[in-house]
Amino acid sequence: MQVILVQDVNNLGGAHELVTVKDGYGRNFLIPQKLAVEANSSNIKMLEERRKQIAKKEEKLLAEINDVITVLQQSPLKIGAKTGTSGKIFGSVTSVQVARAIREQKGYEIDRRRIVITEDIKELGNYKAKIDFGKGHETEVDLEVIAE
């Protein structure tokens, strides 16, 4: 029996996939639990249409990601930090501060969990941070830590 999965099912497949299962498993478990629908001609047409819509959304999202990457790489982010007399920062620069700087200087809201600072930033100077947008898209951003 062929079914179209409505949502991800462990050890079987992901959402919007056409899979072959045993008749009893499909009729007695997947369909009643609303994990799948029967793969008849109308449902297959709906699946193809849904895949086209998903592809268009991903294409649009990829274009937006590329726009954000180009804006982020144009100029370094300036991050202000309080320092002592020797030029050392009180504490260190965190991903929260980098996310706030991106929001204020570039106008993009990026989740702090997507920002990875490769080295501890405890002094004034120039550093790099990586931003992972998911699905293999990431970029490096230049950071310039200056005294407040």
Question: pLDDT tens, 128-146?
Answer: 999 998 878 889 999 998 8
Residue 96 falls inside a structural domain: yes
Q: Do residues 80 and 41 share a domain?
A: no
Residues 79, 142: one domain? yes
Whether residue 83 contacts residue 147, with contact meaning beta carbons closer than 8 Å, is answered with: yes
pTM of the entire structure? Answer: 0.68
Instruction: Answer yes or no: is 52 within a domain.
Output: yes
**Alpha carbons 137 and 74: distance in angstroms, whole number:** 17
What is the predicted pLDDT for the residue at 135?
78
Same domain, 22 and 84: no
CA 74 to each of CA 68, 136, 141, 143: distance values in angstroms, whole numbers, following the listed order? 10, 21, 9, 12
**Domain range spanning residue 13?**
2-57
Q: Structurally, how many domains does the chain consist of?
A: 2
Let me know if residue 107 belongs to a domain.
yes
Q: What is the pLDDT of residue 93?
A: 87
H helices of 75-125, in order, are 95-105
pLDDT tens, residue by residue, 59-84:
999 998 888 888 888 888 899 888 88
Give the pLDDT confidence score for residue 6 in this predicted structure. 92
Q: Distance between CA atoms of 95 and 132, rounded to whole angstroms?
A: 12
